[in-house]
Structure 1
Amino acid sequence: MSGAAAAARQAFAPNWGARLGLLALAVYAVFAATQLDLNWARLAAGFGEGGRFLARMFPPNFTRWELLLEGMLESLQIAALASALGILISLPLGLMAARNLSPWFIAVPTRAFIALCRSLHYVIVAILFVKALGFGALAGVAALTIASMGFIAKLFAEAIEEISMKPVEAVRAAGAPGASVLLYAVLPQVASRFVGFCLYQLDSNLRNSTLVGIVGAGGIGGTLFAAFKRFDYDFVCAILLTIIALIFLAEVVSGRVRAALR
């Protein structure tokens, strides 16, 4: 009986390593807060300033709807072009990076290139393209294309690596060429997931296209930044509400598309 009780106690023995790790994390969090000058007085002052800021934002001002519409259309165009280019480039990259289809001397450099595309935040990439290409939508399309490649190609490769190789081997045994293997054995297994990845990236680029404009890469972000600089907070509120409505609309449409493809 004592042996069974000892076994039960051992089964739920405390994990002292995890407890010490959590304690160290809590201590470091307190230390970091003191180093960053985080305190309740600043937080309370921030809430007061935030309340006054929100009061100046309402009611929203839609009188300059032409400027708002122009910026939103440009953001939509940037998101659509960047998503299309990123997906088209990511498909061959994903196939080349899949280790169950490509030899290591192709898969390893391709994966390194995909990791390079993900290594920098898209805003930093947008700044680089603004410096190289100048202000405007071209820099935004280029930056979001790079970001899309880094995300979609990785997901494509991982989805392909999870497929069953039996259909692939059967099609190869029938003497089909490489393109037929991809078309009839690989893509049917991952097509629905590919569509989901693409819809998610389009939704993400819709949000990101509003942000790259702040650094001069086109879209509604430039209009938003200019309104902030003019302290035109009621127009800022109108822009933010329009962006939120656009994202909600994109979410509804993507949900309907996913449901139709199931």
Structure 2
Amino acid sequence: MSATAAARQPFAPNWAARAGFLALALYAFFAMGQLDITWARFATGLGEGGRFLARMWPPNFTRWELLVEGLIESIQIAILSSALGIVLSLPLGLMAARNLSPAVVNIPTRAFIALCRSLHYVIVAILFVKAIGFGALAGVAALTIASMGFIAKLFAEAIEEISMKQVEAIRATGAGLGAVLLYGVLPQVASRFTGFCLYQLDSNLRNSTLVGIVGAGGIGGTLFAAFKRFDYDFVCAILIAIIALIFLAEVVSGRIRAAMR
């Protein structure tokens, strides 16, 4: 076979990709050794996990008042933080869009949005717990920061993809900035922005159950306290309630999205 025919061979082996996969596999084995990840430890963990699950069953719902109280607080934290994050994200997204705002405005705004997204919400919750004390206020503040970082970034990117023809047409009528945003920008991104908001509400419902573990209110605090008391049957009841809450939120948000189509 000539060199030209070999060069035209279909499905020729990609030696660079194979070398990359080999290097990745070798590094994975090296990292497992460094982290003391062994099959013996995994097998031991399976046995311990089985005994742990046996202690969790059957779930204990006798303290349902405490369970409902924690769930309601988590729902309130999620709704409040989502609402505040959405309201604050609207101006941030408009200011961060490069096609609407000058560089002197969008660059600092984008830096602030990146700052909101740079730390995990649990770390932010710990900071707020240290600053303002234990309770739901710290959870609302932490999830509001997280919501701002997520929604404002996606909102700005959605605005940058709009057609500027509608914006220029409204500007040509002599309309002010408010009218341009209301009639030229928001109609083009309204459906996507609604989807972002619904997704963030779903996310905050899950996250609100976690920030309570660090003292920021919600069902997470009840769950952590049950773990510390080795009250594993009540832990199982809390986990079932959290899963049911997330499933219910998925159903509701799915119906809202379907109604908006």
Give TM class, smaller chain: over 0.9
Structure 1 vs Structure 2: percent identity of aligned residues?
83
Deviation at 1:174, TM superposition (A): 1.1
Offset of residue 15 of structure 1: 2.9
Post-superposition offset of 1:12: 3.8
1:170 aligned partner = 169
Shift of 1:191: 0.3
- Secondary structure of 1:132's match? helix
Q: Given residue 212 of structure 2, which amino acid in structure 1 is its aligned partner? A: G
Name the counterpart of 1:8: 8
**1:5-44 per-position Cα deviation (integer Å, ceiling 9, x unaligned):** 44532x6443333222222111111000001111111000
Unaligned segments of structure 1, at least 5 residues: none
Q: Give 1:4 deviation, angstroms.
A: 7.5
Separation of aligned partners in 1, 2:59 and 2:139: 27
**1:139-192: per-residue Cα shift (whole Å, max 9, x none)?**
000000000001010000011001111100100111110110110011001100
Equivalent residues in 2 for 1:195-214 (5 A)? 195-214=194-213
Cα gap change, 1:259 to 1:4, in 2 (>3 Å): farther
Residue identity opposite 1:107 in structure 2 = N
Taking only aligned residues, the RMSD between alpha carbons, in angstroms, comes to: 1.4
Residue 231 of structure 2: aligned partner: 232
For 2:160, the equivalent position in structure 1 comes to: 161
For 1:43-192, what aligned pairs fall within 5 Å after superposition?
43-192=42-191
Cα distance in 1 between the residues matched to 2:15 and 2:108: 42
- For residues 84-111 of structure 1, give each alpha carbon's deviation from its aligned partner in whole angstroms, at most 9, with x where no partner exists: 0000000110000000100011111101
Please give the TM-score of this superposition, normalised by the length of structure 2.
0.97
**Aligned mates of 1:27, 1:110 — CA distance in 2:** 43
Q: Which amino acid in the other structure matches residue 8 of structure 2? A: A
Aligned partner letter, 1:8: R
Tell me the amino acid that sits aligned with residue 68 of structure 2. L
CA distance in 1 between counterparts of 2:52 and 2:3 reads 66
Please list every run of at least 4 consecutive aligned residues from structure 1 whose deviation after the TM superposition is greater than 6 angstroms: 1-4
How many residues are treated as equivalent by the alignment?
261
SS of the aligned residue for 1:102 comes to: coil
